Amino acid sequence: MIMQGKKGLIMGLANKFSIAYGIAESLKSQGAELIFTSQTEYFKNKISDIAKEFGKREIILCDVSKDGEIEKAFDEILQTVGNLDFIVHSIAFADKNELTGKYYNTSRANFLNAMNVSCFSFTETCKYAPKLMPNGGSLVTLTYYGSEKVVPNYNVMALAKSALETSVRYLATDLGESHVRVNAISAGPIKTLAASGVGEFSKILEIERFRSPLRRNVTQKDIGDACTFLLSDMASGITGEIIHVDCGCNTVGVKFEPKS
C-alpha cells in the first residue's frame, strides 16, 4: 500500500478504456484517495458512476483550454478537499482532420489549439500545483513516441508531445525547490477514445506487438502501475524524466519478422 494516506487529482478520465482509468485503478489498489476533473458536463455525467468506484467526492469541471479554469478548479479543490500529494494529467486534443494526411496542412488555429490543450495545460497545472502541495508532491503527464520519431498521421500531436516532453524538464527544474517532482510516461499504443478513428490502429497494435521485446501490447494496467510508482515516495529521486512504458518497443531498431 505505497499510496496509503496520499490524496490526488486525476485529469482526463473519459471512460473505462481511458489510460486515466488504469491509473485510477492502480492508485486505488495502493490506498490512494482520488478526486477527478472533467472537461464538460457531458463527460461529468458519463464518468460519475466510474468516479464513485474511486471516491465519494464531486467531480470538478475543468476545460483546460479556457483561461482561468485550471486556477479556479484548483482553488475549489483547496477549499473542499484540502492539500494534494499528486496530480495526473492525461489530456490531449487536436482537430481530427489534422491527424491524417500531410502535417504541413495544419492550420494556425488548430496548431495553437493542439498546443494549448495538450501542452500548455500541463504548464499551467504545474504553475498552480505547489500551492496545493505544501508538503511536496509528484505530477505525471502522458506522452507518446511520435514526439521522437515519425509515426504516420500523428502530425500536429507529435509537435505538441515534443513540447510537452521538453516542458517536463523545465517544469521539474521550476518545481524542484518546492519538493514537487514532474515526470512523463511515454505509453505504447492502447485502444482508447483518443485512438478511435486513427487509421489502421489494429495494424499499429499488431506491428508493435511483434516489434516489442515483451512480444505484447502495453495495457492500461502497465501504465497505471508505472504511474503509481512515479507518484509514490519510491520514486523520490526521479524528476524531469520521460519513462517509456511500451513493452520495450522504443528500444528496438531492427524489426522482428511477424510470426503467426
- Give the active site residues: 144, 154
Residue closer to ligand NAD by CB (options 96, 135) is 96
> 121, 91 in Cβ contact below 8 A?
yes
Interacting partner of 27 out of ligand IMJ, ligand NAD, none (Cβ under 5 to 8 A depending on kind): none
Dig out the grid coordinates for 149 from the structure: 520519431
Interacting partner of 78 out of ligand IMJ, ligand NAD, none (Cβ under 5 to 8 A depending on kind): none
Q: Does 113 bind ligand NAD (CB under 6 A)?
A: no
Query: Which region, left, alpha or beta, applies to residue 247 given φ > 0 means left and ψ of -120 to 50 means alpha?
Result: left
> 180, 137 in Cβ contact below 8 A?
yes
Q: How many CB atoms neighbour CB 69 within 10 A?
A: 18
For 62, phi and psi rounded to 5 degrees? -160, 100
Radius of gyration of the CA atoms of the chain, in A? 18
Q: Does 111 bind ligand NAD (CB under 6 A)?
A: no
Q: Does 194 bind ligand NAD (CB under 6 A)?
A: yes
Residue closer to ligand IMJ by CB (options 77, 204) is 204
Residues from 41 through 80 that contact ligand NAD (CB under 6 A):
43, 63-65
Which residues contribute to the site for ligand NAD (CB under 6 A)? 12-14, 18-20, 39, 43, 63-65, 90-93, 117, 142-144, 187, 189-190, 192-195
